[in-house]
Structure 1
Amino acid sequence: MGTLKDRLNEDLHTAMKSRDELTTGTLRMALSAVRNAEVAGSEARALSDDEVLAVLTKEAKKRREAATAFADAGRSEQAAKEQSEGEIIDRYLPKQLTDAEITELVGGALTAGGYTGKAQMGPAMKAAQAAVAGRAEGGRVAAEVRRQLGA
């Protein structure tokens, strides 16, 4: 199979043919975000699969936050739509790590880098994010790094 962007385009065409409005709209939005990222900066360029994954991760996070905001405001229909869009985007993301897996990976990264105190939070986060490699939200990773550093 081709790139992740190609897969998104193919799935968009399939959704359009089957008249699946939710999937069509969601994939159009995701591809639009990818195209915006491609033309951001000084010159246009094609994104790698990892960069496309980063864009999709941000879009999925936006959907989760919007669903929570709508639910808190009592707009359950809109919250359900945002939740459904997030689930469609999640199909293209790697499986998220469990809390136990994050604890293990962060612990290994901190030990390997020799990070022991809260003063080393920045470099420790960089090492932990590299170990997790986009398979968990930054907030969850940061919380675990803080916990293990005693910050």
Structure 2
Amino acid sequence: MISNTIDQEIKQAMLAKDQAKLRGLRAIKAALLLAKTEKGPSEEITEEAELKLLQKLIKQRKESADIYKQQGREDLSSIEEEEIAVISAFLPKQLNEAEIEQIIIKVIQLSGAASVKDMGKVMGLANKELAGKADGKLIAEIVKRQLA
């Protein structure tokens, strides 16, 4: 579970006075606490939900960094990119496009999908198979390309 590791990492970052890492870790901890309170005190967050949460945090920071770059605010953009690096360290190794494509081809064969009409079924299976290992937008592009 990521939440156990985060507390240890926060302590180490505090001792090392690593502000960038501390910001990223605190963002993860805050998001995890929020998710726990939404679920209720008796339910634990699954590892899959944690991965989705981390991907969401990275996506938000990428969008913010892009906006800051467009506005010429490199100082704020670099802060977002530092946090992305910290958060990304808790995700599984990201697959490259060729590896993703191989997995999607297998998923399409197993599901029996024949056309773009079957995209929803394939996306559901592909997202389960590639959870935390690939960006959803890239998965969708590859599935669409394979089914076309």
The TM tier, using the shorter chain, reads: over 0.9
Q: Give 1:130's match in structure 2, choosing from 128, 131, 140.
A: 128
Query: Contact between 2:61 and 2:84, CA under 8 Å: does it hold in 1?
Result: yes
Compute the displacement of 1:50 (Å): 2.4
Q: Match for residue 137 of structure 2?
A: 139
Q: Give 1:25's match in structure 2, choosing from 23, 26, 32.
A: 23
2-structure distance, mates of 1:82, 1:147: 32
> When the two structures are superposed, what TM-score results if normalisation uses the length of structure 2?
0.94
Compute the displacement of 1:49 (Å): 2.5
- Runs of 4+ with >2 A deviation: 43-46
**Greater displacement, 103-112 / 43-52:** 43-52
2-structure distance, mates of 1:6, 1:72: 37
Return 5+ residue gaps in structure 2 as ranges.
Answer: none
**For residue 82 of structure 1, what is the amino acid of its counterpart?**
E
Q: Match for residue 72 of structure 2?
A: 74
What fraction of aligned residue pairs are identical, expressed as a percent? 28
Pair 1:5-2:15 in alignment: no
2-structure distance, mates of 1:28, 1:95: 22
Q: Give 2:93's match in structure 1, choosing from 92, 95, 98.
A: 95
The structure showing larger relative contact order (alpha-carbon pairs under 8 Å, at least 6 residues apart) is: 2
> When the two structures are superposed, what TM-score results if normalisation uses the length of structure 1?
0.92
| Matches for 1:34-73 after TM superposition, within 5 Å | 34-41=32-39, 43-44=40-41, 45-73=43-71
Q: Give 2:110's match in structure 1, choosing from 86, 109, 112.
A: 112
Query: Contact between 1:103 and 1:144, CA under 8 Å: does it hold in 2?
Result: yes
Tell me the secondary structure at the aligned position of residue 96 of structure 1: coil
Query: Contact between 2:91 and 2:132, CA under 8 Å: does it hold in 1?
Result: no
2-structure distance, mates of 1:26, 1:132: 24
**For residue 15 of structure 2, what is the amino acid of its counterpart?**
K
Compute the displacement of 1:89 (Å): 0.5
Return 5+ residue gaps in structure 1 as ranges.
Answer: none
Count of equivalent residues:
147
